[in-house]
Structure formats: C-alpha cells, structure tokens
C-alpha cells in the first residue's frame, strides 16, 4: 500500500467505521445489562445510551466519507472532483452495492438507537442492523473476491460481528460505563457488570479466533512464508500480536482482578479491573487500525482470492 493522502484517509475512515460499529454494539449490550440494575445504575446507563447514540451517528457519517475517498481512488480524481463519480460507484460497482447494504444497516442502527429505548423490539431491530452492517462491510472487502454470497463473506461477516462485540464491550465498558460506577454505592452493580463483560468477551473471542484463523489462512494461501515475505503478512503479524496482548489483558482481569474483586468488593480491586479494561480498550483501537490497513492492502497470496 502506497501511503498517499487518499490511502491514509481511507484507512482512518475504515478504522473509524469499525470503532463506531464496535462502540455501538458494546454500548447497546451494556445498556441492556444496566436496565436490569435499576436506580443505582441510572448514571452509567445514561452514559451507555449517550455513547450508543453517538456511535450510531458516527457510523453512517464515516461510511459516507469513506465512499467519497473510495470514489476518488477508483476514478483517479482529486477528492472533491470525485463527488461526481459517487453515483457511478454506488450504482455500477460491487463495492458500491455492498456499501449500500452497510450504510442501510448503519441508518437502521440509528433508528433503533433513537426509538428503541431498551425495549425488546428496539433490541431486535438493533441486532438486525448490526448483522446488515457486518454483511455489507464483509462484501466490501477481500472476502467478496470469492463472490458476494460466498462462504468467505459469511465468515468475514461473523468475524466482524464477533470482533465488534469483543472490542465494543471493552471500549464502551472501559471508557464509558465502568468509570460511572466508581463509588461504594454502585460496587455491586460494578461487580455484576464486570462479570458479564468478562464472560461475554470470552465467548466473542472464541468466534473471533476461529474466523480470524480462517481469514488468515485464506489470505496467506495456506502457507506461512508470506508472513515474513510480504507487507500484508507483516501487518497481519502486528495485528496478531495486538490480539494476543488484548487476550492476555482480558485473561488477567478474568483470572485475577475479577475473583479478587468479588471477594473483597474493594475500591482498589475495582480500579484494577477498570484500568486493565481501559488498557484493553486502547489495544482494541490498535487492532481496528491494523484491520483497516489489511483491508487496504492486497492479500499476501492473491491466488487464493
């Protein structure tokens, strides 16, 4: 990948799309959990809902800007001049068709966030929106080279949803919700939410690893040599290292900080869990950036696509 202004802009916007998508999923799930906790969790739930709405507005905005950058890259025109090519890209290219699906899902997520208010219908609508976004985004990337309705696209969509769930509860939990539960009167809520975060992250991680391995082997053509012999392999290695770091941080919370917190309910142990999750959230941002770079680069083994 040549580091031009257009490519850097595309990577930045693709990463923003992934981060907003994850933040929305994590915030929606935390909002659902906090609704079960009643009055003590009111402040934290308000934060979760605010971050949900903000993420749901950021997602379609990032989608629109990414499409403009994509149109400029495909047409070879300057950014502003490429505005006239957007209808052509949307109407006549596979990327444009897939973008419409992802953008439609993002708009649907906004509707769910603004009208759901924690109800079952709103929750179901948001899950549908998240699935539509994942399918559209999967069909916009390298997986679609095997066909827009291929197994590769289905696996990539599942990978995107699982990554969004894993990263989202770290982002929304570590940066938004748990800091609002930092008092002795909300310690019980903190412990229960922390336990749910740890459990759900572990479930999502299992899917992330399985689908990520499938995607990696496909991109490498079933061989390990491209890991060291291609730029795509180097970035994949970096992403893998960041994933390992996030896994270790999650394991530290699950096996050490959370058991101590459940025994002691102390402020010190609550801060330990929150700080580790906070660090995990920043590592997840790095993972999303690495994933955006990989999406912009040709795979190591194009023969597998």
CATH of the domain at 189: 1.20.1630
pTM of the complete model: 0.93
Q: Phi-psi bin for 137: left (phi > 0), alpha (psi -120 to 50), beta?
A: alpha
Instruction: Specify the pLDDT at position 287.
Output: 96
User: Over 31-62, what HEC string results?
Assistant: HHHHHCCCHHHHHHHHHHHHHHHHHHHHHHHH
Instruction: Specify the pLDDT at position 1.
Output: 53
**How many domains is the chain built from?**
1
Instruction: Specify the pLDDT at position 219.
Output: 72
Mean pLDDT (10-residue bins), the chain, 305 residues: 75 95 96 92 94 96 94 89 92 92 96 81 91 94 76 92 96 95 92 96 95 82 67 87 96 96 94 96 96 82 44
Range of the domain at 196: 5-304
Instruction: Specify the pLDDT at position 305.
Output: 39
Instruction: Specify the pLDDT at position 176.
Output: 94
Instruction: Specify the pLDDT at position 300.
Output: 59
């Amino acid at each position: 990948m040549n580091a031009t202004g257009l490519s850097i802009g595309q990577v930045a916007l693709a990463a923003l799309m992934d981060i907003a998508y994850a933040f929305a999923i994590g915030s929606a799930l935390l909002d659902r959990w906090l609704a079960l906790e009643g009055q003590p969790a009111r402040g934290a739930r308000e934060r979760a809902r605010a971050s949900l709405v903000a993420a749901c507005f950021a997602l379609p905005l990032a989608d629109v800007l990414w499409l403009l950058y994509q149109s400029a890259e495909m047409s070879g025109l300057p950014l502003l001049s490429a505005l006239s090519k957007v209808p052509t890209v949307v109407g006549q290219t596979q990327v444009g068709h897939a973008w419409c699906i992802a953008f439609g899902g993002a708009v649907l997520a906004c509707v769910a966030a603004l009208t759901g208010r924690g109800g079952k219908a709103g929750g179901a609508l948001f899950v549908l929106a998240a699935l539509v976004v994942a399918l559209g985004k999967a069909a916009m990337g390298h997986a679609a080279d095997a066909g827009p309705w291929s197994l590769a696209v289905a696996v990539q969509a599942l990978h995107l949803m699982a990554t969004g769930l894993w990263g989202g509860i770290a982002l929304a939990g570590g940066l938004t919700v748990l800091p609002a539960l930092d008092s002795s009167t909300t310690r019980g809520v903190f412990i229960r939410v922390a336990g749910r975060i740890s459990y759900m992250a572990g479930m999502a991680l299992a899917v992330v690893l399985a689908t990520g391995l499938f995607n990696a082997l496909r991109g490498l053509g079933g061989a390990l040599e491209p890991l060291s012999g291609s730029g795509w392999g180097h970035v994949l290695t970096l992403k893998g290292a960041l994933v390992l770091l996030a896994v270790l941080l999650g394991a530290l919370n699950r096996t050490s900080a959370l058991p101590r917190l459940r025994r002691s309910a102390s402020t010190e142990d609550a801060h330990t869990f929150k700080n580790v999750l906070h660090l995990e959230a920043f590592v997840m941002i790095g993972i999303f950036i690495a994933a955006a770079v990989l999406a912009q680069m040709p795979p190591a083994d194009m023969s597998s696509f």
